[in-house]
Amino acid sequence: MSDTAPLWRALLAMQRFGWEQGVASHAALDDGDRGLALLLARDAVARQDADGQLGGMDDAAAVNSGALLEATLALGEDDAAAAEAAQRQRWWLLRFSPRDDWGVLHHLTGSAEVWADSVYMVVPALVAAGDLAPADMQHRMHREQLWDEATGLYRHRFDMASRTFARDAFWASGNGWVAAGLARALHLGVEAESVRTRWEHDARALIDACARHEREDGRFHDVLDDPTSFVDGCAGLMLAYAAFTGVADGWLPASYADAAARWADAALSRVDEHGLVREVCGAPGFDRQGTSAEAQAFAIMAIAARRRLS
């Protein structure tokens, strides 16, 4: 963990909502610190809300708590209360969370919007819980609403009530969430060959579509096809994590590691003396450059995935 220690120091100093705590737990698992992942999950169990959402923070999130399920399932192997908490979270995603009549999950309570971000929050969580069919259903339905065939990219937010895009931008981080979510789900293990083959194809095609918008410096604009939008290093870290994972797990050719290294190195070159990844899509509004817990976590996850290649 020595190469990631400064990144961890900065990440653990940050205030974190449910998805940020969840992606931090993924970083801990990937970086080989199971003990830290379980501590992160333990606090999420302590903050579980009445609906069953882990890491509840009294916000409008409907699916972000799913990112905490993987580590909570691990904690539950030796902790009966955590095992029960994991099942409450699982059933929130499977049955009780807000969704459209035909099943696609809404990203926020009080809204009928479907977001690209949700793919990362939901699909790996359901795979970790052994619910492959619902995981595939959510992937298919999010793709149907958000994927643009002409570009191969995902638009950000679709309003199911009005049947219009609440935000039709090809948000770099949104596409990063999808690519990383599929890569993580595949890494957790997908036994059904037909599903695994389709997810591998979809993830590779999305990485390729994003790669066409790479800047000369190895980074991406916040809106992939809008060169007037600010430059974001976090999307590159998400894509690097996905590509390194695909190469390490055998569903991407080795050549993808070269692009992943370029994207990761470009973002990591902006790490400051405090361990903060600078010049990323910044919290809390994610509408300008700044810093974020997700950028810290994906920096660690990209490094850990790259380590698996050696």
Average pLDDT over residues 64-73: 98
Q: How many C-beta atoms lie closer than 10 Å to residue 191's C-beta?
A: 8
Average pLDDT over residues 31-41: 98
Average pLDDT over residues 284-306: 98
Q: Encoding tokens for residue 168?
A: 């039709």
Average pLDDT over residues 288-301: 98
Confidence of residue 297 (pLDDT cuts 50, 70, 90): very high
pLDDT in tens, 167-221: 999 999 999 999 999 999 999 999 999 999 999 999 999 999 999 999 999 999 9
DSSP readout, 126-189? HHHTT-HHHHHHHHHHHHHHHEETTTTEE-SEEETTTTEEEE---BHHHHHHHHHHHHHHHHH-
| Whole-number pLDDT of residue 45 | 98
Confidence of residue 2 (pLDDT cuts 50, 70, 90): low
pLDDT in tens, 125-177: 999 999 999 999 999 999 999 999 999 999 999 999 999 999 999 999 999 99
**262 burial type by CB count under 10 A (0-12 exposed, 13-18 middle, 19+ buried):** middle
CA angle centred on 193, ends 304 and 67, rounded to 5°:
40
Distances in Å between the Cα of 34 and the Cα atoms of 41, 71, 229 are 10, 9, 38
| Whole-number pLDDT of residue 1 | 46
pLDDT in tens, 236-282: 999 999 999 999 999 999 999 999 999 999 999 999 999 999 999 99
Confidence of residue 59 (pLDDT cuts 50, 70, 90): confident
In the chain, the DSSP E strands lie at: 113-115, 147-148, 153-154, 157-159, 164-167, 220-221, 231-232, 280-281, 289-290
| Whole-number pLDDT of residue 58 | 84
